[in-house]
């Protein structure tokens, strides 16, 4: 059995309340996300994928840190951070949003949760939005309090997650709608539950509100899930690329704008609020984008895990873009990828060349790829919204 002390990035990298439990349950490798350990290895990643899509997995995603915004001006302040129209967001609702800078670049693509009229959580992807929000607040003239609360989520994802949630919280949990939340208590452990997740599968996120209960919560969920085949796991690169879910820093960063990603629905330039980046996004929309995200099917032998560098994409010997995320899907039996290419080449069915994944071993050699629509699986999102 692996021992927790075998993993060490130094004290500057924080451990989640579930760290010891994940090691007990078989985590053998970790990465760093939002300055915290995140389990990335519970054995074969393909088996982790099948566990996710056939049964259910429990993932430590405490790295999804919360930025808590409260105060009389909380709603007005949150709207200033995002181009998505929040005017109809109800208490108890969640929304996928973008946080943009003054140039219209994406700083984060979090889930926003509204706990009360003037109480919000921003559940982060991998960037320091706590510091951004606190900085924006300084000269905003708004009455808000911004902090990182003692909140640590886990993800329970997969087709049997609903049955496991019923075993934990009772039948009424089935009434929780997609992208809504509920504040609950599990045998004295305070939690918030949302019908969300980073998997493109049916799933829930359970936000622990007292880190002292991390070990107990993990064990309670695993015990309740045992009859349903629940396994410990990690967020699946295979499934998230199948679902064309963004990975911040890989598929988007501060130099990427929403229109390049086809996320126009998350930008409303007609709202009264003068959100950060509004003028820039209007200019970008009027001028049009020079590049665009596409899906790729890459021919050749199955990829041995996700890419760890950007792969150039060429057309007639000229570099026209890059592969940002690539993986072999055992379900589709294809190498699938998300890529950013010059807009004039973003044509479905077009053939391009991806510079050989082995890099300098065969420098200059390429593999044939076809531009396709994305997501690659369940394009209508029928699984998550079921």
Q: What is the per-residue pLDDT across 318-346, written as a single tens digit (0 to 9) for each?
A: 999 999 999 999 999 999 999 999 999 99
How many other C-beta atoms are found inside a 10 Å radius of the C-beta of residue 336?
Answer: 24
Q: Report percent pLDDT > 70 for the chain.
A: 96
Instruction: Report the pLDDT value the prediction gives residue 2, as an integer from 0 to 100.
Output: 43
10 confidence band (pLDDT: 50, 70, 90): confident
- Give the tokens for residue 83: 């181009």
Q: Which of 158, 208, 163 is nearest to 183 (CA)?
A: 208
Which tens digits make up the pLDDT trace of 250-280?
999 999 999 999 999 999 999 999 999 999 9
- Structural domains of the chain ordered from first start: 4-60+151-241 (3.30.1360.120), 66-147 (3.30.70.1400), 248-372 (2.40.30.110)
Pairing of strands 334-342, 291-298: antiparallel
Question: Contact at 8 Å (CB) between 94 and 179?
Answer: yes
Q: Specify the pTM.
A: 0.95
Calculate the alpha carbon distances from 102 to 81, 126, 286 in Å: 10, 19, 17
């Amino acid at each position: 059995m692996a021992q927790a002390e075998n993993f060490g990035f130094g004290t500057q990298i924080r451990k989640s309340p579930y760290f010891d439990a994940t090691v007990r349950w078989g985590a053998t490798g970790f990465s760093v996300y939002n300055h915290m350990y995140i389990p990335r290895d519970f054995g074969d990643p393909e088996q982790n994928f099948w566990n996710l899509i056939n049964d259910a997995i429990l993932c430590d995603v405490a790295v999804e840190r919360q930025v808590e915004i409260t105060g009389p001006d909380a709603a007005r302040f949150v709207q200033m951070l995002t181009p998505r129209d929040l005017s109809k967001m109800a208490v108890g609702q969640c929304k996928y949003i973008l946080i943009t800078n003054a140039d219209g670049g994406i700083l984060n693509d979090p889930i926003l949760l509204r706990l009360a009229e003037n109480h919000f959580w921003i559940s982060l992807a991998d960037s320091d939005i706590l510091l951004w929000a606190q900085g924006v607040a300084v000269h905003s003239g708004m009455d808000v309090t911004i902090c990182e609360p003692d909140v640590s989520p886990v993800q329970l994802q997969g087709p049997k997650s609903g049955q496991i949630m019923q075993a934990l919280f009772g039948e009424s949990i089935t009434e929780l709608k997609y992208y809504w939340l509920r504040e609950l208590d599990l045998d004295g452990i305070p939690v918030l539950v949302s019908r969300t997740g980073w998997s493109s599968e049916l799933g829930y996120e359970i936000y622990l509100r007292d880190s002292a209960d991390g070990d107990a919560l993990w064990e309670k969920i695993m015990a309740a899930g045992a009859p349903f085949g629940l396994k410990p796991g990690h967020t699946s690169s295979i499934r998230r690329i199948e679902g064309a879910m963004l990975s911040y820093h890989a598929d988007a960063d501060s130099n990427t704008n929403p229109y390049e990603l086809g996320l126009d629905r998350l930008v409303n330039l007609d709202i009264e609020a003068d959100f950060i980046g509004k003028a820039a996004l209007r200019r970008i929309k009027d001028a049009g984008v020079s590049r665009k995200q596409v899906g790729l099917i890459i021919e050749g032998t199955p990829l041995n895990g996700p890419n760890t560098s950007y792969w150039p994409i060429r057309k007639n010997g000229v570099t026209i873009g890059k592969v940002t995320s690539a993986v072999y899907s055992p379900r589709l039996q294809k190498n699938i990828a998300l890529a950013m290419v010059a807009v004039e080449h973003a044509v479905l069915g077009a053939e391009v060349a991806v510079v050989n994944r082995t890099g300098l071993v065969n420098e200059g050699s390429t593999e044939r790829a076809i531009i396709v629509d994305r997501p690659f699986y369940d394009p209508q999102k029928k699984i998550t919204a079921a």
